[in-house]
Amino acid sequence: MFLLTNVMDHSLDDGYAEAAARKAEGAGGLPRTLSGKLGLAAGLVLAALVVTVGAAQARVAAPVVAKERQELIDRIDRETASADKLEGSVDKLRDDVSARQREALRKSGAGDQSELVGLLSGAVAVHGPGVKLVVNDAKEATSGGNGDPRETSDFSDTGRVRDRDMQRVVNGLWESGAEAVSINGQRLTALSAIRAAGDAILVDNRPLVPPYTVLAVGDGKQLSTRFQDSVDGLYLHALQENYGIRTSISVEGDLRLPAAPSVIVRTAQPSTEKTEKGTS
């Protein structure tokens, strides 16, 4: 009976009772003493002051930031326009130099010989029958996945076309009888270089974007057959079979290749100095 009476009289735990009493006395946790209320008020005033000062500074600094941003944009626009103007001047001078070089080549020879020199040197634009060869990366390399080049340290196990692959393609076309070759509209000469810079392929220091369209002027059917039967043609076929590199070749009736942007003319002259050899 004593136990039942105790449970009836003390139905709540003492801790709950104390917490309820503190809640009733504290009025929701707010301080009841004067010093506590003053401290709370000072904290609220300080927080409001900080927010107000920050907003005022942001409002004052906003026009300055906007002005600096606009000045930077204007400077970028001016420098971009200046760079475009200089690039246009470079292109104009390059075309003038190329025209003078072509004129010098025409004057240096006679008849068909000068035209042949201009053709072989890449100094003049050409057109005629030939082949069109398109080389592109594998689908896995262009869409990510396991062939993503960022997942590997080199091109060895990916479906990316390398600079060495394009070198072999171009050399194979020359060897098969091509008279003029271009890649993505860029004319190749005997001094052209195909190199790599990171993931990009450079032709004469100009980056190319796949697919790589190679145009070769020559006897179309014979050039196509010789190239596909050559070592470099078989190498390209192996790339297609093993790495999924996409290729297509077609015979074209009339291809137009531009002149090389700049042809360096080098001449050699016999030395006038006589070398004296001692006799023993």
CB hemisphere CA count around 163 (13 angstroms): 18
What's the rounded Cα separation, in Å, for the pair 122 and 261? Answer: 9
Distance CA 266, CA 243 (A): 42
Q: Rounded to whole angstroms, what are the CA distances from 170 to 124, 176, 178, 201, 203?
A: 19, 10, 9, 14, 12
* Domain assignment of residue 118, yes or no: no
CA distance 206 to 203: 5
Residues 160 and 253 in one domain: yes
Decide if 121 is inside a domain.
Answer: no
The last residue of one of the domains, among 108, 142, 157, is 108
Burial class (CB in 10 A: 0-12, 13-18, 19+), 230: middle
Q: What is the pLDDT along the chain (280 residues), one digit of tens a residue?
A: 566 666 566 555 666 666 666 666 554 555 567 676 777 778 888 888 888 887 777 777 777 777 888 889 999 999 999 998 998 888 788 778 777 766 766 666 555 565 666 666 676 788 899 999 999 998 877 554 444 443 444 444 568 899 999 999 999 999 999 989 999 988 888 888 899 888 789 988 888 888 999 999 999 899 999 999 999 999 999 999 988 899 999 999 999 988 877 666 566 677 666 544 444 4
- Domain carrying residue 155: 126-257
**pLDDT computed for residue 65 by the predictor:** 75
* pLDDT at residue 168 in the model: 94
Residue 97, burial from CB neighbour count under 10 angstroms (0-12, 13-18, 19+):
middle
* Contacts with 189 (C-beta within 8 Å, 6 or more apart), sequence order: 121, 122, 260, 263
Does 227 lie in the same domain as 142?
yes
Is 268 contained in some domain? no
Please tell me whether residues 234 and 155 are part of one structural domain. Answer: yes
Does residue 97 sit within a domain?
yes
The CATH number of whichever domain residue 193 belongs to comes to 3.30.70.1880
For residue 85, being part of any structural domain is answered with yes
Q: Can you tell me whether residue 165 is helix, strand or coil?
A: helix
Tokens representing 109 are 């020879």
β-strands 200-203, 186-187 pairing: unpaired
Q: How many domains does the chain have?
A: 2
Residue 255 has what pLDDT? 92
Same domain, 139 and 240: yes
Both 171 and 52 in one domain: the answer is no
In a domain, 57, yes or no: yes
pTM (two decimals): 0.55
Same domain, 47 and 92: yes
Q: In sequence order, which ranges of the chain are alpha helices (DSSP H)?
A: 2-9, 14-26, 34-108, 112-121, 139-142, 163-175, 220-229, 231-243
Distance in angstroms (rounded) separating the CA atoms of residues 86 and 90 = 6
Q: Indicate whether 181 belongs to any domain.
A: yes
Q: What is the CA radius of gyration of the chain?
A: 40
Pair 186, 226 in one domain: yes
Asked if 152 and 187 sit in the same domain, the reply is yes
* Shared-domain flag, residues 133 and 242: yes
- Domain identity same for 211 and 95: no
Q: How far is CA 235 from the centre of its chain?
A: 27
**Distance set, CA 93 to CA 6, 32, 71, 268, 276 (Å):** 108, 87, 33, 25, 45
